[in-house]
Structures are given as C-alpha cells and as structure tokens.
Amino acid sequence: MPQFLILNSAFLAMHIPDGFLSLPILGVTWISTIGLITISLKQVESDYQDRTVPLMGVCAAFIFAAQMINFPIPGGTSGHLLGGTLAGVLLGPWAGSLVMSVVFMVQGFVFQDGGITAMGANIFNMGLIGTFGGYYLFRTVRNLVGQGLRGIVVGTAIASWFSVVTASAIAAIQLAISGTVPLLIGMTAMVGWHVMIGVGEALVTVATVTFIWRSRPDLLYTSSKKMNSELLR
C-alpha cells in the first residue's frame, strides 16, 4: 500500500467542504433542503406506516457504509455511492429524503466529511436530487418498460446514473456562482468524472434493489394510492 501516506486526505469523499460555496449559495441550498425535508416529514407522518421503519434503518446503515467504499475509476480518480436514488426507490421520495439527511448529518458532524455550512448543499445534491429526481425518473422509466424485474432494473440504472451526473452538474453551477471555479471548466471536469462514477452508482443501486425485490418485494415503496387499493382488496 504505497499510498498510505496520503490516507488523511484520501477519505475526504465527494462532499463539498466549508469554504467552497458563497453565502448566497449556502442560503439557497439550505432553504431548499430544509423546505423539502419539512415536506418530507409531513408526508411521512401522514402516508407511511411503521412497517417502513426497519427498511429506513437498514437503508441508512447500508448507504452510510457503502459511501465509505471508494471504487477506482479510470484516470486515477475514485467515486463512491451517493445512494439518493437507492433510498428513493426503496423508501419513496419522502422517507428516502429523511434517511439521506441522517446519513449526511452523521458524516458531517461526527466524521468531518462535508462542511457543516455546506451540509444543505450536500444533502440537496447527493441526497434529494436522487430521492426526488431519481425516484420520479425511475417511476417514469418503469412505467414505460414494464412493472416486472426488467422495468425495475432499467429504471433504477437510468435514474441512478442520471442523478449522479445531475448532482455533479448542479455542484459545478453552485461552485461557479460562488466564484470558486469558472462554470465551463468546472462543469466539464465534474461531469466528465461523474459520467463514470455514475456507472458505479447504477451497478450498486441495481444490485441492491434487485436483491430486495427478490427477497422482500413487500418492503419496496409503493405510492400511497396503490397502497390503499391493496389494503382494500
């Protein structure tokens, strides 16, 4: 392990540290994140039943653990799972968003991974883009492809890949507005790497969702309308 000397900086994950984002961007990202978390809390209180709780715990634990595992990508870079789409597909956008927020809070407060002032941006980029954008893209693709395993695999793969690439593009825009790096250069670099990192995201997300679909399909999120009609049967 010749690289052990740089161990300290190596674990600084893909999270935005304090100092990269300007005050206006911090404000906008915090307001967006707090707004969406508040709506999520209300939705979970009114729509979710306690049978979701075990999946919330396991999903959060798995995403935290998986985010520690940086996988190498060609060109001397690495990436790790973000997990937003995974949480969205398994738990739905609302409980999924809560779980992602817990992951980033533990990382930021306990392990100094990602800035505290930048936490709103990190939750938004790496969590909520996946739990909302990823989830609704997954549902759209699944409705087009079919409700069986194939629809789940194709939908999950496309949604998780796009959520990572979108997150990197949004981060590039935030960095550019903050005056940290020019838009075009930052965008090219960020999206360039995350096009490859997204493939890793898709592989892990598809494998995990398929595993749960095969072992405990009853745990997968179905929107409340479907849930109600099932209960009425």
Binding to other proteins (CB under 8 A) within 95-154 occurs at: 95, 98-99, 102-103, 105-113, 115-117
Using CB atoms within 10 A of its CB, is residue 42 exposed (0-12), middle (13-18) or buried (19+)? exposed
The site string for other proteins over 201-230 (x = CB under 8 A, - otherwise) reads: --------------xx-xx-----------
Neighbours of 119 (CB within 10 A): 23
23 or 110: whose CB is closer to other proteins? 110
d(CA 91, CA 99): 9
Contact pick of 159, 197, 202, 209 for other proteins (by CB under 8 A): 197
Minimum gap (Å) between residue 166 Cβ and other proteins: 13
59 or 141: whose CB is closer to other proteins? 59
Tell me the three state secondary structure of residue 52: helix
Tell me: does residue 86 bind other proteins (CB under 8 A).
Answer: no
Minimum gap (Å) between residue 155 Cβ and other proteins: 22
Handedness of CA 37, 41, 46, 52 (dihedral sign): positive
Q: Are 26 and 121 in contact (CB under 8 A)?
A: yes
140 or 188: whose CB is closer to other proteins? 188
Minimum gap (Å) between residue 136 Cβ and other proteins: 22
Q: Are 168 and 188 in contact (CB under 8 A)?
A: no
